[in-house]
Amino acid sequence: MARELEGRIAAVTGAASGIGLASTEAMLAAGARVVLVDRDEAALAAVCERHGDAVVPLVLDLLDPKACATLLPRILARTGRLDIFHANAGSYVGGDLLDADHSAIDRMLNLNVNVVMKNVHDVLPHMIERRTGDIIVTSSLAAHFPTPWEPVYASSKWAINCFVQTVRRQVFKHGIRVGSVSPGPVVSALLADWPAEKLREARESGSLIEAAEVGQVILFMLTRPRAITIRDVVMLPTNFDL
């Protein structure tokens, strides 16, 4: 593989597993050094053991407002700059709205929407000063279809798609690209919260995506010529509509 990201510094939230880990590994293979942001210290340690000095662990609970505000300063203290930011951390609430409790709704909306907005808000001044940068946000196929079995989750991703498209229009003049990747169901820990019947149907029909495939799409987005922005990529298994 061509090392198209050689010398670049990236940071990925929710980097210890799933799409975040796949994104990290795709960027590492392309030559980037990656700051892994996650609250799971043990999982981060395991990733670091595999990848050595190419990765920088950053244990951080993004749902803690004070800790969240330290994200960029702590990244810059370890790396000196930031070229790529992948806002990936998120959670899932599925099922009927009537069955969701208030605390679960609050937690998910805070992580999927508020934290993403705050993180992007905080990294933008650094990128604007340098007049370059890439921001990728993990969205979902649920952002493009009113999915009846996940109204809370889907609503959070609809909000994020609006955020990506509006922020991109504010900052492209500074040399910053902003885009989102919207995968269908990905084999990850988030599927643990799926209704059992829905998960069984997806497995039997072959309508799940591997996280590594999402990582490769993110790498494609990041390695286009600077004059090209891939604003939205919607990924779905070929058998999704079966």
Nearest CA to 164 among 111, 229, 216?
Answer: 229
Kindly compute the dihedral angle of the four CA atoms of residues 221, 77, 131, 182, in this order, to the nearest 10 degrees: 20
- The Cα 26–Cα 5 span in angstroms is 10
- The alpha carbons of the chain give a radius of gyration, in whole angstroms, of 17
CA-CA distance, 35 to 77, in Å (whole number)? 11
Strand 9-13's sheet: what is its strand order? 55-59, 33-38, 9-13, 84-87, 133-138, 176-183, 232-235
| CA-CA-CA-CA torsion sign (214, 220, 226, 232) | negative
| Distance from C-alpha of 33 to C-alpha of 55, rounded to nearest angstrom | 6
Active site residue 153: yes
- Residues facing 190 on adjacent strands: none
Q: How far apart, in whole angstroms, are the C-alpha atoms of residue 75 and residue 99?
A: 39
Residue 200's CB is within 10 A of a number of other CB atoms, namely: 11
Instruction: Tell me how far the alpha carbon of residue 240 is from its chain's centroid.
Output: 22
Q: Which residue of the set 153, 158, 163, 194 is catalytic? A: 153
Positions marked active-site:
153
